[in-house]
Structure 1
Amino acid sequence: MPPPLPDIRALAVRQWRDYQRRTPGTYFGEGHAPLHLSDAYRLQREVVRLRQTAGDSTIGYKIGCIGPGIVEQFGMAGPIRGYLYKSEMHPSGAMLAHADYANLAIEGEMAVAIGPGETIVGAFPVIELHHFVFRGASKTLVELVANNGLNAGAVLPHDPALPLERWAGSQALTIRINGDAVASGGLWSMPGGAVEAVAWLGAHLKEWGLHLAPGDLVLTGTPLGLHPVRPGDAVAVSVDGTTFVECRIV
């Protein structure tokens, strides 16, 4: 008989404690019976409740594991979603302590702001931060979802109020680390761009009794890859040669 699956609420307490200790997802390195993907999403929601009780709040969602760079890097395909937390948003130019993260890695991607009726009222590049840790014998969507898509926050541009149409003719989203271009490609991870991403997320959330609300931030997923960074690194994300958001790792 296979071992019983864990109590989701108890596991959420462990997940939250692990996260606070910067040792995320230790459960997945212990050879337990695999969770179902639905359990992983329930686990996300329980961690939200714990973080809200501790004084944090959610401000939107991320979409992940969909762009070609990440699919190739991880060897699996989503899409999946995770939550974004207010306490983990940083302004462009932020100095981020490497020691505050577990194997810090970054993505450059496009984000959108949501208006009434799940409309898109703004779009802009961001730097997504990650605790780049997988503990299972192989990478799985379950571990990815249970660990909130590895999300550790984001760095946002100072002026995000740019209409979606602003990007219609844009060609290249580029990540630079210490001035060197480490990845460059299209702006969107889904063929239908931001519109397809928001439509998928809206439908997915409805399956869970959730919905997008005006003011929500949505990270639409990177078409590029995930890049580890070290103390001393300067990270910048540009579109067609213009830098919109940057940070430094200390």
Structure 2
Amino acid sequence: MTTAYVLPPAPTPSLPVVGTPARFAVRRIYCVGRNYAEHAREMGASGREAPFFFLKPADALLPVEGSAPTHLPYPSLTQELHHEVELVVAIGLGGRDIAVDEALRHVWGYAVGLDMTRRDLQAEMKKQGRPWCIGKGFDASAPIAALTPAAQAGDLAQAHIRLQVNGQERQHGEIAHMIWNVAETIAALSRAWTLQPGDLILTGTPAGVGPVQPGDGISAQIDGLTPLQLVVD
């Protein structure tokens, strides 16, 4: 029996996949906070704190398609839009209470992504002790490049992660410098939510986050993955 809807269902958010016209349908977008020590310090924290998570709506996804820069609309209500480059992990096998030594079996692929942040709104919500979804979960706040299947991605634990604005380097770190590595992050996340195929995990950003303005060009790279290019407008 065909299900009838009172309104047409929204399109399924999805990402391009390297080497195939098929796309990866996205279910949820999880994000890890303060997962590089230097970034934690620049945000006023320190040490190996327990991992914490927040979510972006799946339709906050901005797929970065092809080789030409993708347009990133400058969001409303903010004067301080910040870039945060991150390794994105795509889940292909779901599960709950996943063991660390089994976690990488659940990974379908990897990509370069950004956690765009309305920093002024986030800071104000923090000051008031309120949820800061408005600073993180707005439209097009998750630009992500094409996914590379895990078997083709190489040893990302040794990869460098970089971001430039108008050709000037802003962020540069190593995936190995994560406080909680990919397997540990998946294990911790799966204790709070049942992970499902189609989930994405943005795994944290190195130090150097900062503002962008309309007209700026953003480039981001992780060794072995498809780079990301944006123009803010």
TM-score, L = length of structure 2 = 0.69
Equivalent-residue separation in structure 1 for 2:164 and 2:146 (angstroms): 19
1:158–1:241 distance in 2 versus 1, CA, 3 Å: closer
Contact 2:83–2:212, Cα closer than 8 Å, also in 1? yes
Q: Which residue pairs with 1:154 in the alignment?
A: 142
* Corresponding position: 1:237 with 2:220: yes
1:212–1:187 distance in 2 versus 1, CA, 3 Å: same
Deviations 1:32-58 (A, max 9, x none): xxxxxxxxxxxxxxxxxxxxxxx7996
Correspondence 1:165-176 to 2 at 5 A? 166-168=154-156, 170-176=158-164
Matched to 2:88, the amino acid is A
Contact 1:188–1:222, Cα closer than 8 Å, also in 2? no
Shift, 1:224, TM fit: 2.9
Question: Equivalent residue of 1:135, what SS?
Answer: helix
* Corresponding position: 1:132 with 2:119: yes
Q: Which residue pairs with 2:54 in the alignment?
A: 82
Q: Which residue pairs with 2:32 in the alignment?
A: 63
1:127–1:98 distance in 2 versus 1, CA, 3 Å: same
Matched to 1:177, the amino acid is V
Q: Which residue pairs with 1:52 in the alignment?
A: none
Equivalent-residue separation in structure 1 for 2:134 and 2:71 (angstroms): 23
Shift, 1:159, TM fit: 3.7
Q: Which residue pairs with 1:186 in the alignment?
A: 174
Deviations 1:102-147 (A, max 9, x none): 22111111010112244111112112211112126x769x55xx21
Shift, 1:158, TM fit: 2.7
Question: Equivalent residue of 1:231, what SS?
Answer: coil
Q: CA RMSD in A?
A: 3.0
Correspondence 1:95-134 to 2 at 5 A? 95-100=71-76, 102=78, 103-118=80-95, 119-133=106-120, 134=123
Show structure 2 runs of 5+ residues with no match: 1-9, 13-26, 96-105
1:189–1:216 distance in 2 versus 1, CA, 3 Å: farther
Contact 1:111–1:123, Cα closer than 8 Å, also in 2? yes
Contact 1:174–1:181, Cα closer than 8 Å, also in 2? yes
Q: Which residue pairs with 1:218 in the alignment?
A: 201
Show structure 1 runs of 5+ residues with no match: 1-54
Deviations 1:53-104 (A, max 9, x none): xx79962311112312321111125532111212211122321222436221
Equivalent-residue separation in structure 2 for 1:189 and 1:64 (angstroms): 14
Contact 1:111–1:126, Cα closer than 8 Å, also in 2? yes
Contact 1:155–1:246, Cα closer than 8 Å, also in 2? no
Contact 2:164–2:171, Cα closer than 8 Å, also in 1? yes
The percent of aligned pairs where both chains have the same amino acid is 23
* More contact order relative to length (CA 8 Å, sep ≥ 6): 2
1:120–1:66 distance in 2 versus 1, CA, 3 Å: same
TM-score, L = length of structure 1 = 0.64
Shift, 1:171, TM fit: 3.3
